[in-house]
């Protein structure tokens, strides 16, 4: 499949997890890639022959400076983010600010500064979360930030429609990443915790990085040309049932 053939796509958070899986799939489908993240070594590990940009996407001045040198883009996969756990009562103001910065301020800044670099007819995909669609215990700041990401996708879809630039969000449920594996390995009951995490959706398993990457590739490609402003749950049916 070469559905992204010749398209220049910028991927944030490309040094690990979903971003790494997506970058490799986009490359396999013919895309020219710019990989952005905080650490050059992990970006090189993802794809040594891509363009690598060390960038903190939550830093206004840094994103503005990069925008001045960024080439024209056909699309962006704004994936970078981070999990912050805790209730409203237990989450410090500093942790709340950090959750908003990495999960919502970052994609906002990328859209704000790089909109002029997007070609007309391009496509942007944001990564939200299914717990930005419904509340669960002890994920207050993260849920609020990801709910903001979902609305940002809708706002951008409206604002960019005159240029035929589409914007959509993916709302994944629990995904089997290295970070999840590390948390399970540190648990007193890894098998029990994995079973409990898997049981939150009707399909009874965690999602994979490849499944998120595949949906992102579809949304970035021309075959999804009439899809914009959508927030698509990718959570094994949890959003439909609960």
Q: Which of 49, 40, 45 is nearest to 17 (CA)?
A: 45
DSSP-based three-state secondary structure for 99: helix
Alpha carbon distance 11, 101 (integer Å) = 18
> In sequence order, what are the residues at sequence separation of 6 or more whose Cβ sits closer than 8 angstroms to the Cβ of residue 150?
126, 128, 132, 133, 169, 171, 231
Provide the 8-state DSSP code for 229: S
Q: Considering 26, 96, 142, 160, which one is annotated as catalytic?
A: 142
Provide the 8-state DSSP code for 182: H
Alpha carbon distance 2, 167 (integer Å) = 21
Q: Helices 17-28 and 209-220: crossing angle, nearest 10°? A: 50
Q: Which of 222, 175, 230 is nearest to 6 (CA)?
A: 222
Query: Is 125 in contact with 168 (CB distance < 8 Å)?
Result: yes
| Paired sense of beta strands 73-78 and 175-176, if any | unpaired
| Known active-site residue 66 | no
Query: Which are the catalytic amino acids?
Result: 142
């Amino acid at each position: 499949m070469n559905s992204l053939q010749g398209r220049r796509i910028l991927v944030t958070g490309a040094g690990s997890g979903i971003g790494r899986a997506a970058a490799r799939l986009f490359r396999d489908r013919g895309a020219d890639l710019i990989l952005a993240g905080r650490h050059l070594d992990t970006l090189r590990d993802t794809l040594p022959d891509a363009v690598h940009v060390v960038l903190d996407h939550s830093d206004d001045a840094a994103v503005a400076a990069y925008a001045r040198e960024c080439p024209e883009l056909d699309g962006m996969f704004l994936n970078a983010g981070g999990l912050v756990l805790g209730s409203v009562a237990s989450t410090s103001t500093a942790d709340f600010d950090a959750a908003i910065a990495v999960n919502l301020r970052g994609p906002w800044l990328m859209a704000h500064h790089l909109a002029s670099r997007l070609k007309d007819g391009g496509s942007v995909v944001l990564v939200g979360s299914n717990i930005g669609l419904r509340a669960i215990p002890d994920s207050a700041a993260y849920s609020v930030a990801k709910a903001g990401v979902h609305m940002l996708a809708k706002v951008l879809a409206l604002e960019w429609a005159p240029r035929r630039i589409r914007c959509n969000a993916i709302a994944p449920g629990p995904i089997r990443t290295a970070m999840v594996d590390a948390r399970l390995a540190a648990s007193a009951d890894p098998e029990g915790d994995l079973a409990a995490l898997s049981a939150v959706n009707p399909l009874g398993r965690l999602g994979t990085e490849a499944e998120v990457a595949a949906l992102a590739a579809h949304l970035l490609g021309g075959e999804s040309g009439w899809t914009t402003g959508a927030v698509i749950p990718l959570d094994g049916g949890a959003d439909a049932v609960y």
